[in-house]
A and B are shown apart, each in its own frame.
Chain A
Amino acid sequence: MNKKSFGSRLVAAPYYVWAAIFIIVPLLIMFYFALTDQNGAFTFANIMGIAKYKKAFLISIIYAVIATVITLVISYPMSYFMTKMKISSQRMILLIVMLPMWMNFLIRTYSLITILANKGIINTILTSLGLKPLHLINTPGAVILGMVYDFIPYMILPIYSVMSKIDNSLLEAASDLGSNGFSRLKNIILPLSLPGVISGITMVFVPSVSTFYISQKLGGNKNLLIGDAIEYLFNVGPDFYNIASALSLVLMVMILLCLAVMNRFSSDEEDLIV
């Protein structure tokens, strides 16, 4: 072994240790619990048992899909118009987008409660205007709003960053060749910004589908999401570690499958983007 590679291994060593302790070991623990019964004997019973939670899985996926679509619909045009602005305005908006990310997400979720609650800000304003108060908190809508609000920066940032790198001369070239505004959007901007869209979707969908807490605080425990189920089971006690681990395992496999599909999508495109 030469000295240089030893040196570079040494530099990389803390990372390997970190990865082992915080990624590999917890995963192994999860696998262990998921595939054993309470006595530590190997079993598939836990995995089979998750059928009871298929409603939670389904709701989680539906909510996450809706939240992802909404964030995309907001973020894409927003990113597009941002790239058309002056550089100083772009920076300002970017700062505003990122500002909530600097706050703890529990606090952000709490702030939504105070806005949406039955005697919250919106309803106070409505009643003071003589209007009927709305039932906002503890609805699926509130949960999805919470997801959109918490995760939207992760959609805007990648889309904006890819879009702002599209060379203006490409748009001029398209226009030169006869493309009007709509055709330029469809034939140039959309395909070239696709990698950003895909990473945005991934970065919003994955945390949305596995989120807990948002639904507890804003959904009023009515529609249990899979993340809540896992958290709940772990809190109940060691007896439920096995089934909770099995749920986590299935969720993880599901997310990995989503990522794999997404990556296939983007890697087809990516080597075209130089």
Chain B
Amino acid sequence: MENIVELKNVIVSFDGERVLDELNLTIKDKEFITLLGPSGCGKTTTLRLIAGFQNPDSGKISFEGKDLNGVPSYKRQVNTIFQRYALFPHLNVFENIAFGMRVKKLPEKEIVKQVTELLELVNLVGFENRKISTLSGGQQQRIAIARAIANRPKVLLLDEPLAALDLKLRKDMQKELRRMQKQLGITFVFVTHDQEEALTMSDRVVVMDKGKIQQVGTPQNIYNEPKNAFVADFIGESNIVDGVMKNDYVVDFSGHTFKCLDKGFDDNENVDVVVRPEDVDIVDSDKGMLKGVVTSVDFLGVHYEIIVDIGGFKWMIQTTDKHNVGDNVGLDIEPDAIHIMKKSEYSGLYGDYSSFSEEMDHISDVVTEDD
């Protein structure tokens, strides 16, 4: 696949604060790439740079190898789906979708034909004369999609387009967008703070924080091989503990020596160890590699979420077996359940479940704030 958009050493500051810090990103032609991160991580700014609503302080943006710096947004071959859709309230559905084509001065016959096709694509045939204010959120969303792809962009930018929809509609739209992307064969750059959304929809995920890219990779790659504690914590649930890499394939943590599948670290190097909650087996106290006490049990339907205190560090374990608070249990961790990461600025900040409330604050921040 060829590269379609490239960002090189891009820096953007607002009021002296760096929003994007020497960002390098390559977007390939026809891929579904997701920019994922908490609010304020710079993902929306990255999108606005590509759209042309924002100019970089320094650095280079190119499109199909050509320099995009200074090219106004109305001359770029990209289109955007805005977070709150930004449909034109004074125009009806037909005119909203036709807007780009009218600017291009296409013949009326062509416009009518294309709008009809687009309405078919987004399943809203017969809505031509409806006012925008009479449409539901999901319908407005579809009109926004139709309007954005009417100009046949090479890249479609989507700025948290599903954030305002309810859960069920969001799930449907995720599939719908994926289908459209395949059908249209154009590049989608999707911005979201919802890790599940990012994992289900994307070919590649770009995890961002503090204006920097933390990791780029396939959803599987990001989930199974997180690069640092931030990524491990942001994508799914993780127990992250301090460990010491004894030598290749052997790691010490929580007072026990484990076999693992990682290598290439210095002998006795301090590392972060990630163990996903679903990869831990609870066994009898005397048979476990680690021993601890159950401090909380939550039933979530599919499984129980159990917090086990092991020497003061609280582990989260997801299991379908029931345990009770106060039980003495043992934990069994297989070598393939252990992932070793280099120490980073995020070490020690995440992955301990002793203070659930802080975790919840963090999540609700992400949901309610816009960036």
Contacts and interface: CB of A to CB of B under 8 A. Distances in A.
A and B pair up: yes
A272 interface: yes
Given A192-B89, A192-B90, A274-B132, A176 B103 contact: no
Interface in B77-105: 78-80, 82-84, 86-90, 99-100, 103-104
Contacts of A274: 89, 132-133
A260 B42 CA distance: 51
A178 B90 contact: no
Contacts of B52: 175
Interface in A167-182: 167, 169-170, 172-180
Assign chain A's interface to a size class: 20 to 34
B89 A172 contact: no
A216 B190 CA distance: 67
B170 interface: no
Contacts of A192: 89-90
A179 B90 contact: no
A248 B154 CA distance: 65
B88 A172 contact: no
B72 A175 contact: yes
B82 A173 contact: yes
Interface string B148-165: 101100000000000000
B299 interface: no
B181 interface: no
Contacts of B88: 170, 173-174, 188
Interface residues of B, number: 29
B151 A178 contact: yes
- What are the 10 tightest A-B residue pairs by CB atom distance, in nearest-first order? A177-B100, A173-B86, A169-B86, A178-B103, A274-B133, A175-B73, A191-B90, A272-B90, A176-B80, A175-B74
Interface of A: 167, 169-170, 172-180, 183, 187-188, 191-192, 269, 271-274
Given A173-B147, A177-B147, A179-B99, 14 more contacts: A172-B53, A172-B73, A173-B87, A175-B52, A175-B73, A176-B148, A177-B100, A178-B100, A178-B104, A179-B74, A187-B99, A192-B89, A272-B90, A273-B90
18 contacts: A169-B86, A170-B86, A172-B80, A172-B86, A173-B87, A173-B88, A174-B88, A174-B99, A175-B73, A176-B74, A176-B79, A176-B80, A177-B151, A269-B90, A271-B133, A272-B89, A272-B131, A273-B89
